Amino acid sequence: MGLLSGKTALITGASKGIGRAIAIRYAQEGANVAFTYLSSVEKGQALENELAAFGIQAKGYRSDASDFKAAEELVNSVVADFGSLDILVNNAGITRDNLLMRMSEEAWDEVIGVNLKSCFNTVKAATRTMMKAKAGSIINITSVVGIKGNAGQANYAASKSGIIGFTKSVALELGSRNIRCNAVAPGFIETEMTAVLDEKTVQGWRDGIPMKRGGQPEEVANACVFLGSDMSSYISGQVLQVDGAMLT
């Protein structure tokens, strides 16, 4: 018996990086896993087979997290295909970094849409099912940047701070329905999103972290296993930093 046996989870943006690690850890813990992707179609389809090999029900859906209507259709499909929805992980995210002076309106809107509005979209669509079940765990992936701010990432930091305010409000509104809502704030996690950065910059970041290394996607996924499971049944409205004491 895994920590998530019998539960159905929906994870957005699982074709790579942290989302992919969450999907795999959830499947290992016995959850049935629905997940989304957008541009990485082949990777998404490959993940579906990889997850099914754990003996759970798995299905990938191509769905744009920033699209309100698409999120509603997605959640309806998941509930129809899986019969329930117990855990929602809002992980889909992008960066469009630039100094404020050079940041375009498109770069602002795109980041807010994919990172922040996406949480509103799926939570709004999922709460009906969770309220009926009188149970649910919602996990929103924010960032230490959403707590501290970051030069060159005003759009990203704003979207991640917004997620924290949203998470706490959902926890307050839906607590009486036994729906929990928490945020996970990764620090520097080594994924494809960070692999595009130059090695010297990356080493500089590693050196500045008290634990002297970047985190692995699985280390964020493990926090999501805890928050998705009944192990955290009285924890809601929290922001759990997974950052090697980077922001302490």
Q: Pick from 141, 171, 183, 223 the residue near ligand NAP by CB under 6 A.
A: 141
Q: Looking up tokens 């692999």, which residue turns up?
A: 195
160 assigned ligand-binding residue: yes
66 binds ligand NAP (CB under 6 A): yes
* Residue number, 84 or 194, with CB nearest to ligand NAP: 194
Q: Which amino acid type is present at position 149?
A: G
Closest CA to 126 of 107, 116, 139, 115: 139
Q: Is 94 near ligand NAP (CB under 6 A)?
A: yes
Q: Which is nearer to ligand NAP, 60 or 136 (CB)?
A: 60
Residue 223 binding ligand NAP, by CB under 6 A:
no
Q: Using CA atoms in the order 21, 25, 28, 30, what is the torsion angle rounded to 10 degrees?
A: -120
CB-neighbour burial class of residue 140 (10 A; exposed 0-12, middle 13-18, buried 19+): buried
Does 182 participate in binding ligand NAP (rule CB under 6 A)?
Answer: no
Nearer to ligand NAP by Cβ, of 96 and 177: the residue is 96
Per CB under 6 A, the list member of 2, 28, 40, 72 interacting with ligand NAP is: 40
Give CA–CA dist 74/10, Å, rounded: 10
Contact assessment for residue 242 and residue 187, using Cβ atoms and an 8 Å cutoff: yes
Q: Is 60 near ligand NAP (CB under 6 A)?
A: no
How many whole angstroms separate alpha carbon 22 and alpha carbon 5?
15
From the list 26, 37, 61, 156, the catalytic residue is 156
Give me the torsion for CA of 218, 223, 227, 230, rounded to 10°: 80
* Cβ nearer to ligand NAP, comparing 124 with 177: 124
Is 37 an interacting residue with respect to ligand NAP (CB under 6 A)? yes
Closest alpha carbon to 147 in 243, 17, 18: 243
Is 61 annotated in the active site?
no
244 binds ligand NAP (CB under 6 A): no
Calculated CA dihedral for residues 138, 144, 150, 156, nearest 10 degrees? -20
Query: For binding to ligand NAP (CB under 6 A), which residues are involved?
Result: 12-19, 36-40, 44, 64-66, 91-94, 114, 141, 143, 186, 188-189, 191-194
Known binding positions for NADP(+): 91, 156-160, 189
Residues that are catalytic: 156
